[in-house]
Amino acid sequence: MGRFVARRVFQMVLVMFAVSVLTFAIFNLIPNGDPAVRMAGRQQSASTIREIRREWGFNDSVVVQYVKTMEKVFTGDLKSYFTQLPVGEEIVKGLPRTLSLAIGAALLWMFVAICFGLYSAVKAGKFADRFLTIIALIGISMPVFWIGALMNHYLGFKLGWFPNGGYVEFSEDPFDWAYHLILPWTALAILFIGFYSRVLRSNVLDTINEDYVRTARAKGLGERRIMIRHVLRNSMIPIVTLWGLDFGAVLGGGAILTETVFDLQGVGQYAAEAIGQLDVPPVLAVTMYAAFFIVLLNAVVDILYAYLDPRIRLQ
């Protein structure tokens, strides 16, 4: 198991290196126009551009440019020429908000999807199953920005049951923190609940017909124990994989819409604003940050997978 983890971490470093080269190429090597001009953003002066050219090494070879760019990204030396704010600090400021949103939503969608998916599978073909299928399809079909805006308008603004956007630090007041996040969590989770409950339902229906479930029944175990220990545990393996990947994707950009709709001021919203202002340095940094979380969660999923399914460990 230790060797498996070590190998996976090494692979992760390699992938990150490849990602960094690609990101560098996308932002600095694309033809047409001067990268320094792009970097400087909308309000630029000749002196800024000269400064950028020198600092980023745009007059030097590609290798030097790459090294200098990565140096800036990883030392937190990067700053936005548009807002004059250091990019690293902005990301660190937004990260707890994005993490709060992503972790809460991921737990919510997993929990509800297990309940729906399992119930749907047990009642397969009956009314409850069809009803949940329709609900799931509606959930999958509703875009976050739409359902988020509706929730904000009706539950937040009109009824006043929930705060109208905004974020409270967990350390300040955990209840207020959760209270502010309920709507964003729900809005973000709805899509995944629909999707995951469908996948889990079909996994459970496949697993129920496995020989070892028949063995469990022949052992005289109760139906609840059979479902949880023998059916659900095996059906969950692919779901956990999906879960990790989607969690990484939400951290690395999937939360942009939700954060913007509910004004959470997380990394996603920061990225969205930077894109809107054609502010290259934050976009560059957020791209690397997103790639990092996706690669990290991929590795975590592989390791988790090996833990959940002992057959994987041998290979």
Partner 1 sequence: MTPLLSVEDLRVSFATEEGVVQAVDGVTFDLAPGEVLAVVGESGSGKSVTAMTLMGLTRSPNARFEGTAHYKGTELIDASEEELRRVRGAEIAMIFQDPMTSLNPVVKIGAQIVEQIQEHEGLPDQQARERTVELLERVGIPRARDRVDDYPHEFSGGMRQRVMIALALSCDPSVLIADEPTTALDVTIQAQILQRIRELREETGAAVVLVTHDLGVVADIADRIAVMYAGRIVEEGTLDEIFYDPQHPYTWGLLGSITRVDRPRPERLPAIPGLPPSLADRPEGCHFRPRCPHEFAECVKVPPLEARVAGQAQHLDRCWLPADEKKVRREIQPGEIGLAAKEGTPA
Are the beta carbons of 24 and 69 closer than 8 angstroms? yes
In the complex, what is the shortest distance from the CB of residue 303 to partner 1, in angstroms, rounded to a whole number?
A: 16
Long-range contacts for 43-47 (Cβ within 8 Å, ≥24 apart)? 43/82, 44/81
* CA 301, 304, 310, 315 torsion-angle sign: positive
Could you tell me which residues come within 8 angstroms of residue 98 by beta carbon, excluding any fewer than 6 positions away? 251, 255, 259, 264, 266, 267, 268
Nearer to partner 1, 87 or 208 (CB): 208
- Residue placing its CB nearer to partner 1 in the complex, 66 or 119: 119
- Shorter beta-carbon distance to partner 1: residue 54 or 225: 225
Q: How far is the CB of 207 from partner 1 (least distance, A)?
A: 10
Of 248, 243, 241, whose CA–CA distance to 291 is shortest? 248
d(CA 188, CA 105): 6
**Minimum distance from residue 146 beta carbon to partner 1 (Å):** 40
Dump the DSSP string for 141-181.
HS-HHHHHHHHIIIIIIIS-SS-SS----TTT-HHHHHHHH
**Cβ distance to partner 1 smaller for residue 176 or 309:** 309
**Residue 159 or residue 218: which is nearer to partner 1 going by CB?**
218
The nearest distance, CB 9 to partner 1, in angstroms, is 24
Distance separating alpha carbons of residues 117 and 201, to the nearest angstrom: 5
Residue 45 phi/psi, 5-degree rounding, is -120, 160
Least distance (Å) from partner 1 to the CB of residue 11? 24
Alpha helices in the chain (DSSP H): 2-24, 35-40, 46-55, 62-75, 87-122, 127-141, 144-151, 174-208, 211-218, 223-225, 233-249, 256-262, 267-276, 280-308, 310-313
Q: Please report, as ranges, the residues that interact with partner 1 according to CB under 8 A.
A: 210-212, 214-223, 225, 229-230, 233-234, 237, 308-311, 314
Please, which residue, 63 or 314, has the CB nearer to partner 1? 314
* Shortest distance, position 20 Cβ to partner 1, whole Å: 37
Phi, psi of 125 (to 5 degrees): 85, -15
What's the closest the beta carbon of residue 104 comes to partner 1, in angstroms?
29
Closer residue to partner 1, CB minimum distance, 111 or 212: 212
Residue 313 Cβ vs partner 1, minimum distance, rounded to whole Å = 9
Specify the residue, 216 or 288, whose C-beta has the smaller distance to partner 1: 216
